[in-house]
Structure 1
């Protein structure tokens, strides 16, 4: 019989409601002005609206609202702010500019199909744009007549590099890149060429395996191909050492498709491809998460460091990163002033939601925004850091959230384990409050929550992350189990009331767990993988999923390693009640993964509930669906725990 722990009294002013969780306004990645005085950021609501705000970096003036829009980027002279807005046509973003001394926004583009990204250039006269081709008359005819057959490899539009002349409003397309799909752009700080990262196709698979770097001269449109770059390459940045301009970027550690990110450095030659690419993070026990360009010096980077986040700077002489500061919890969205003396980030800690902070690179940082003041009255469950050993002696970390208003001494409590996605992700010591990672939501209902960080995740170096290749559900599963056993032994968790939940790779782990043991009395599988062979053949990240799961189904009749690693293979063993949640239009982990698992559970008479959310992809975006998921997850735990 269920024995739920005491819950907050309904009507209490500190009661966390589902509406409060999903209706929070959240800040987007900030942009600091080149002169370091101001920080711009967007604030998004669940309705899809976004407003643009600006604050003094030193906190001397309160934030003020500028306009409706998102993705702010500064002009080189700090006098104007560029941003995108779909105010004129919902879903079609156009570039706008606001001059801070005038206060009125002006529209700069009317590109049919919209602008996906923008980069103001150093000359002050040009903005590099990323945009698809405008629809042709033939496209309009086909749309009107429903003549919309999709020819694969032609069904996704290519994003091209274009240059906007601010004086004339003319947009010129850079044709030297052919039909390659442009992903990111970084201008050399002295106004030199653009570093352009492109894929052979807009499809994630094989797009991320076909990335190349190019140099583009804005004035002439001349293109130099620097050659291929690593898997999941992103964030190109320029930096200068002595007289040489160099290019660095983030990518999975060379030679691997699964593993920790690395900072890869190159010296662009006068012509032709790059001769050598060098990892600048070899042997580090932390993982680079963001890399940003600094006009007057070497790049700065955020590193995932266990449960925390550290800011590092590259030392030009040793070509190694050195720590400047470390902050508890999660930092993201790093932006740097021209001099690199001032930085701004999004920061969240155990009981504080994500907000914009700014200050000197070596700290401390000052909070500038407060986008969800309504959370100030909420009582949170105490969040503790955990450190423990895996079965093989590997040091692990994680987090424990106690039920709201309760202490360890009042245990044992029903325990829900939340496994993160990825697997290359982590639970940092931040506020865990979303429809997917709903730790504090469950704590408010009387549950203890274990946030597990098994191997395969970020924050502990490349080897820690790479070990799960072909071994998903192996040591990472026993890592999770070791944490649960610790909490049971310490009297925090009731061994008769254990639940497990996760989304994406965490959903896979929940499905895997209940096929390995009957210790869990409830499970939630959110957008999870049940069959690695099918996932490698149909998911967006198929090439990576094949490495994680152990292979593909087209290499002969088997037996296949991916079958050994698939929860569907053990469905006959499952007795744990399962709640399956999945987006109907998910292409990352296609809906068929959930249908397959559902049919197996039905075949073996396992108590379960299968919920499909229309119009949703790999996450939940619509308010009603987010509310439903929060309430349904808690109700499922209430029923069985």
Structure 2
């Protein structure tokens, strides 16, 4: 697996600036070629048009024998590389023709220098060389890149099919003449429920450029697909509507013949269904996917498996599409029931069982499915985060993103289950920074449940130098986790605070991932309950150990973590400062206006629609305790956030103003749930640190 992380840089060290945090170059979306020899990936960097991220496509030899080579310049948003079945070309999406509208492009690697294009990967600087002369990049790439679509609705996702002649494409409808007239005349009244465009499955003929829509799916919104590795049918996941609020609870699974476009419906699947993947055993094809454990709205993800041939005829009749309502739903077997870890990704290979990544406490593990008992067994495990798993056609070689305590995420590749070599190096300048020591924590909750988390000490300090001012940063979700990875980002960053002299506690309370379904399901209808005491138990431990100064405690978080920060200061006065980023103040309002309505209703316990109350969610909402808040609170929110609407922040702001509580509300124009614009990210980093400096 990834090489061990280097030790913290000793003095002398460069200062960590907000610009150094924000002006990132991050590797994303690795894709290993079917033959296992090359890895393509994207690199996202700040500083593009309008201060938003832009991207470029890179290719490296999977064995690490040559430096990565940039295939596209960084003037547009070039992302999401995928390989042709013959490993001879790379597809990717780009908005270079029209900003914000992605089209499909292709680069044929046989046009690079040397046999098979491999020699052309040698001799150029690695990712540290983002300033390589643009004329070299253009000579290699821009003349070679082919634009494959000009679809005015843009391309949302795609999958090159194994026949080498077709690409399955997910795309919205193109605007009609009537749509254009209405837009020009501002005749733009929205009928709710029909106001969001549906993403449809379409088949692109590479020879002619024609896009054929698969009509048998009706108006269902397609979110994911995967082709059977023998070149057979497509597995397609869809929602009843593009609205997340209803879509995540109305997922269905379909099988589509790419030749005839005939559709067979396999019926409803679990909440938050994702990652369809085929696998074969003894000549029988299975179809698996990830979804919340059956029978639950809140809980851990599970791997669910079915055999489509049990209910679908082995041959799809070209001349007919089976009506969706006429095929009975199939049974899905939970392959992860009882496991104390949580699956995060599924990957199919040509002739073998599934590969999967699992969140395992503070670590991430690679598993392979054992077909006989239908159970996963672990191949390897590493501290930190593994993500973006991609495997060669034979399943022997893989590539993924890996991040450890002092190393940001980079692309690694190697034999499955064996040591992996790092291919990308997007942030070499960070090795000159003196980071805070990151410790793994293990402790018991008040009811005896074993918990974990992380402690980051102030840079250059040890426990013996304490006690320190302590900032507790609560993760979002709540189905998320802190892994033993590099904690540096633009909004809620542990190392950013550690380099300013603060100790940082990163708890993993119940309701999160990494400890199996039952642990995650404990948050249902109980937010702010035992998960809150899980956090305070960790704080109490650090105070007792002399790490945390009980007179200089703060709490912060983003999203669900923002809710927890607001909840905390309504329960106790022990915190001297708090930061609520995109947080929830009223669970009933969140269930009615947030885009994850059914999930939020299950977390808060009620909606408020049941009658005049009192309601369960009132007991779990920080707004109910606003009169008690005495802790200075910094509220940060994106103006266009649809996940947690801005009204949540305004609601709490008005209550705090009414009661005369010390607080500040900062709203970021044009931003959603996460802040993307460079100037806004710089502001957040500086503002949060200044807030703690003022009060701690």
Shift in Å, 1:12:
7.6
Structure 2 counterpart of 1:3: none
In the alignment, the residues of structure 2 paired with residue 352 and residue 483 of structure 1 have an alpha-carbon distance, to the nearest angstrom, of: 26
Shift in Å, 1:113:
1.9
Structure 1 counterpart of 2:5: none
Shift in Å, 1:13:
5.1
Structure 2 counterpart of 1:225: 265
Structure 2 counterpart of 1:62: 67
Structure 2 counterpart of 1:73: 82
Q: Does 1:135 align with 2:135?
A: no
Q: Does 1:113 align with 2:156?
A: no
Q: Which runs of 4+ in 1 moved over 3 A?
A: none
In the alignment, the residues of structure 1 paired with residue 19 and residue 224 of structure 2 have an alpha-carbon distance, to the nearest angstrom, of: 36
Which stretch of the first structure deviates more once superposed, 11-20 or 60-69? 11-20
Q: Does 1:151 align with 2:156?
A: no
Q: Which of 79, 83, 88 is the aligned partner of 2:92?
A: 83
Deviations 1:535-581 (A, max 9, x none): 00000001000000001111000110000010111111110000000
SS in 2 for 1:570: helix
Shift in Å, 1:273:
3.3
2:267–2:330 Cα contact (<8 Å) kept = no
In the alignment, the residues of structure 1 paired with residue 12 and residue 643 of structure 2 have an alpha-carbon distance, to the nearest angstrom, of: 40
Structure 1 counterpart of 2:121: none
In the alignment, the residues of structure 1 paired with residue 89 and residue 503 of structure 2 have an alpha-carbon distance, to the nearest angstrom, of: 49
Q: Which of 567, 571, 581 is the aligned partner of 2:626?
A: 571
Unaligned runs of 5+ in 1: 1-10
Shift in Å, 1:296:
1.3
Structure 2 counterpart of 1:373: 428
Q: How does 1:172-191 map to 2 (within 5 A)?
A: 172-191=212-231
Shift in Å, 1:604:
1.0
In the alignment, the residues of structure 1 paired with residue 629 and residue 150 of structure 2 have an alpha-carbon distance, to the nearest angstrom, of: 56
In the alignment, the residues of structure 2 paired with residue 14 and residue 543 of structure 1 have an alpha-carbon distance, to the nearest angstrom, of: 47
In the alignment, the residues of structure 2 paired with residue 275 and residue 28 of structure 1 have an alpha-carbon distance, to the nearest angstrom, of: 35
In the alignment, the residues of structure 2 paired with residue 508 and residue 149 of structure 1 have an alpha-carbon distance, to the nearest angstrom, of: 34
In the alignment, the residues of structure 1 paired with residue 41 and residue 92 of structure 2 have an alpha-carbon distance, to the nearest angstrom, of: 10
Q: Does 1:428 align with 2:483?
A: yes
Shift in Å, 1:274:
4.0
1:194–1:216 Cα contact (<8 Å) kept = yes
1:266–1:274 Cα contact (<8 Å) kept = no
Q: How does 1:517-532 map to 2 (within 5 A)?
A: 517-532=572-587
Deviations 1:217-244 (A, max 9, x none): 1111111011000000000000111121
- CA RMSD of superposed structures (Å): 1.0
Structure 1 counterpart of 2:649: 594
SS in 2 for 1:19: helix
Q: What TM-score do the two structures reach when normalised by structure 1?
A: 0.98
Structure 2 counterpart of 1:535: 590
SS in 1 for 2:538: helix
Unaligned runs of 5+ in 2: 1-10, 113-143, 314-326
Shift in Å, 1:202:
0.2
In the alignment, the residues of structure 2 paired with residue 531 and residue 12 of structure 1 have an alpha-carbon distance, to the nearest angstrom, of: 48
Structure 2 counterpart of 1:616: 671
Q: Does 1:195 align with 2:204?
A: no
Shift in Å, 1:343:
0.8
Structure 2 counterpart of 1:26: 26
Structure 1 counterpart of 2:130: none
SS in 1 for 2:364: strand
Shift in Å, 1:88:
1.3
1:436–1:502 Cα contact (<8 Å) kept = no
Structure 1 counterpart of 2:601: 546
In the alignment, the residues of structure 1 paired with residue 330 and residue 209 of structure 2 have an alpha-carbon distance, to the nearest angstrom, of: 39
Structure 2 counterpart of 1:492: 547
Q: Does 1:246 align with 2:301?
A: no
In the alignment, the residues of structure 2 paired with residue 62 and residue 336 of structure 1 have an alpha-carbon distance, to the nearest angstrom, of: 21
Q: What TM-score do the two structures reach when normalised by structure 2?
A: 0.90
Q: How does 1:36-435 map to 2 (within 5 A)?
A: 36-46=36-46, 47=48, 48-68=53-73, 69-103=78-112, 104-268=144-308, 269-271=311-313, 272-435=327-490
SS in 2 for 1:520: coil
2:264–2:312 Cα contact (<8 Å) kept = no
SS in 2 for 1:86: strand
In the alignment, the residues of structure 1 paired with residue 469 and residue 451 of structure 2 have an alpha-carbon distance, to the nearest angstrom, of: 23
Deviations 1:412-468 (A, max 9, x none): 000000000000000000011112231000001000000010000000000100011
Structure 2 counterpart of 1:7: none
SS in 2 for 1:477: helix
